[in-house]
Amino acid sequence: MTQSLPIYQLDAFAEAPFTGNPAAVVPLDSWPDDAVMQAIAAENNLAETAFFAPTPDDPDSDYRIRWFTPTVEASLCGHATLASGAVLFDRLDFPGDRIRFASQGGPLAVERAGRGAGQTRFALDFPSRPPTPAPAPEGLAAMLGGVEPVAFLKAVKNLAVMADETAVRAVQPDLKAIAALPGDGLVVTGPGDAADAASRYFAPHAGIDEDPVTGSAHCTVAPYWAERLGKTALHCRQVSRRGGDLYCTLTDGGNRVRIEGSVQFYLEGRIRV
């Protein structure tokens, strides 16, 4: 039977339209089949489509959230969670200032975070995933288009550390080789020019050649640079073509990362599935 569902498209970690990372958000009353959600995400053809439904029987959460790329279900996604929080606060009149989500990646939250640079900001409460040194995969420099990294580390995502932002921007990824890496794609990061840290993220294994701005990558980028810079609050910039700013703070003794960003509403409508 055909049903109609609301849908929103937003730019997350965006201080202006057409920047940041586009995400689709589909609020649900109950869960459809996984195949339906995967088909919706493929039809949207964005990095992630988020689905959430209420959890009235769970005292520790308000909603359960799931994320799908055009090809697979993701275990954690920052920008689509930020977008989901904006939809709940600004369009669905969620009461209070903190939304609690249950997810495959553990308990998450989105809060109102006031204003910055003239924009309303929201904040993610995500797990910290600090990286550990690991042997670099064979041919890593070639994988990055001939740009030599200064270090290689691993968490859920692989992390290649570059000398500076210029080197991060110069990376020309071999997407086939990156797709074959064990783990969840490849983050490249280096000291930023106008921010504490610059980064890019490639996830061809999940149908995303280059993700414009990646909240979940900063669960690793933020603790890595916090340790090296000796500070717990950082301004990070993802230097993809669209670009986006993330304001990250380590909390709970370094076990959590608060990731703030602005959100722009782009599209609101309904889909028939």
pLDDT tens-digit readout, 75-117? 999 999 999 999 999 999 999 899 999 999 999 999 998 765 5
Which residues, 6 or more positions from 112, have their beta carbon under 8 angstroms from its beta carbon?
89, 97, 120, 122, 123
**What pTM did the predictor assign?**
0.92
Residue 131 has pLDDT above 70, yes or no: yes
CA 212 to chain centre: 9
Residue 120 has pLDDT above 90, yes or no: no
Q: How far apart are CA 18 and CA 10, in angstroms?
A: 9
Average pLDDT over residues 144-157: 96
* Per-residue confidence (pLDDT) for residue 113, from 0 to 100: 86
pLDDT tens-digit readout, 24-38? 999 999 999 999 999
Q: Dig out the tokens for 42 from the structure.
A: 């493929």
Helix runs in the chain, H state only: 34-44, 79-90, 140-143, 165-170, 175-179, 218-229
The residues pairing with 233 across neighbouring beta strands, listed in sequence order, are 249
Full set of structural domains in the chain with CATH: 4-127+260-272 (3.10.310.10), 132-254 (3.10.310.10)
β-pair type (98-102, 197-203): unpaired
* Per-residue confidence (pLDDT) for residue 115, from 0 to 100: 63
Measured between alpha carbons, how far is residue 111 from residues 33, 101, 264 in Å? 29, 11, 16
pLDDT tens-digit readout, 174-216? 999 999 999 999 999 999 999 999 999 999 999 899 999 999 9
* Catalytic residue numbers, as ranges: 48
* Per-residue confidence (pLDDT) for residue 114, from 0 to 100: 73
* Terminal Cα distance for the chain, rounded: 8
Beta strands in 20-78 (DSSP E): 21-27, 48-54, 63-68, 73-74
Average pLDDT over residues 35-59: 97
Q: Tokens 């993700």 identify what position?
A: 211
Average pLDDT over residues 222-228: 98
Q: How far apart are CA 128 and CA 64, in angstroms?
A: 20
Q: Nearest 5°: phi and psi at 87?
A: -65, -45
* Per-residue confidence (pLDDT) for residue 271, from 0 to 100: 97
* Per-residue confidence (pLDDT) for residue 148, from 0 to 100: 93
Q: ∠ CA 259-260-266 to the nearest 5 degrees?
A: 120
* Per-residue confidence (pLDDT) for residue 215, from 0 to 100: 95
Residue 119 has pLDDT above 80, yes or no: no
Mean of per-residue pLDDT scores for the chain: 95
* Per-residue confidence (pLDDT) for residue 2, from 0 to 100: 83
Helix/strand/coil for 13: coil
Q: How far apart are CA 193 and CA 254, in angstroms?
A: 25
